[in-house]
Amino acid sequence: MIAFFKLIRWKNILIVAFTMFAMKYAVIEPIYKIYDVEFGLSNLGFLFLVAAAMFLMAGGNVINDYFDRKTDMINRPKSVLVGFSVKRRQVLFTHTVLNIIGVLCGFVVAYITGKTWLGFFFIFVSLLLWTYSAELKRKVFIGNFVVALLTGFIPFLVAVTEYYAFERSIPVWTMDSIHAVKLSFQTICGFAVFAFLFNLIREIIKDCEDFDGDIATGVKSIPVVFGKKKANYLISALSFLSIALIMFIWHAYFSKLLFFKNDIFSVFYIYSMIVFPGLIIAISSLWGTSKVKYVNLSRLSKFIMVMGVLFSVVFSVVVYGSH
């Protein structure tokens, strides 16, 4: 059982669930209460949505470890489970079961929202995760982009399903409902862009960390193809770009919302927990190519991503406090 939880990377799965709950109850709910609007997607429907994301993510992690066995034997031999703690047939069976459950949960959500195509989206995600592990991961940049995009979809999916469920649940749109849905959708889009950018940065950092195993097994990652120094420049450039974009979104959009008028704590949080650590990555990534350095940068990037999600709690407090 312990091997199973390690195989699905349960900590990452819990972060996925926490992110989705944060978008629903720390972003959408406070805004809806300000405008006296009810949820479109029921709590039960939302639980099916979270379950779909968790099971598909777990299945993706399982099949990723299956295909990455040779590389992991070089990069992190002590943590390899496939072929040791868990038999290969068990891994494939587990992957299949997790994906079936995830897709079925996805179709339940599609039925509730009245959008059948949404169910096929979950099938597409399942196939994309398999393709990523089997093929795309070994191609320059494409694998990094796919993982970052799927990470960005996690908060975005909450906004999309809520929109369609809301659209189906009300007979007539009012000005309050329009404002509530628009504001919550735009806010969650900001979280989605943030998740995409910093996960992309982290994926490139992890490629630098796994350089030895990738080059030995023929994986064409950015540091393998272009070298670690050029990968460092890319990490730095993406970090500076992400920081600049976050500052722009904050000052051009969020700070102008009535909720954040004269709010100092949010500014302090953004700069201390996201901007400053991001600058550390942007600057420190320019020098050195040791594995220890990349391990530390990877941890720092994960810290930034967690703090980004936790900003939803700050957002909730500010919105409730302004009412």
Dist. CA 312–CA 314, nearest whole Å:
5
- Mean pLDDT over each residue of the chain, to the nearest integer: 90
Burial per residue of 230-242, b for 16 or more beta-carbon CB atoms within 10 angstroms, e otherwise: ebbebbbebbeeb
Give bridge partners of residue 82 from the DSSP assignment.
86
Residue-wise pLDDT for 112-123, tens only, equals 998 999 999 999
Q: How far apart are the first and last CA of the chain?
A: 47
Q: Are 81 and 3 in contact (CB under 8 A)?
A: yes
C-beta separation of 268 from 176 below 8 A? no
CA distances from 208 to 215, 285, 288, 298 (A): 11, 11, 11, 10
Q: Show the domain range for 80.
A: 2-322
Give the pLDDT confidence score for residue 204 in this predicted structure.
96
**In this structure, what token pair is assigned to residue 91?**
């891994």
> Distance between CA atoms of 132 and 118, rounded to whole angstroms?
21
> What confidence score (pLDDT) does residue 1 get?
67
CA pair distance 144, 152, nearest whole angstrom: 12
Q: Domain count of the chain?
A: 1
Is residue 150 within 8 A of residue 125, CB to CB? The reply is: yes
Q: What does the pLDDT look like over 56-68, one tens digit per residue?
A: 999 998 888 787 7
Instruction: Report the pLDDT value the prediction gives residue 77, as an integer from 0 to 100.
Output: 66
What's the DSSP call for residue 138? G
- Record the pTM: 0.92
Q: What is the pLDDT of residue 131?
A: 93
Instruction: Report residue 84's pLDDT band, with 50, 70 and 90 as the boundaries.
Output: low
Q: Which of 228, 240, 168, 169 is nearest to 201 (CA)?
A: 240
What is the average pLDDT across 74-100? 79
Name which of 222, 215, 202 is nearest 70 in CA terms: 215
Which pLDDT band holds residue 261 (cuts at 50, 70, 90)? confident
Q: Please, which pLDDT band fits residue 82 given cuts at 50, 70 and 90?
A: low
Does the pLDDT at position 83 exceed 60?
A: no
Please tell me the distance from the alpha carbon of residue 190 to that of residue 254, in angstroms, as a whole number.
10
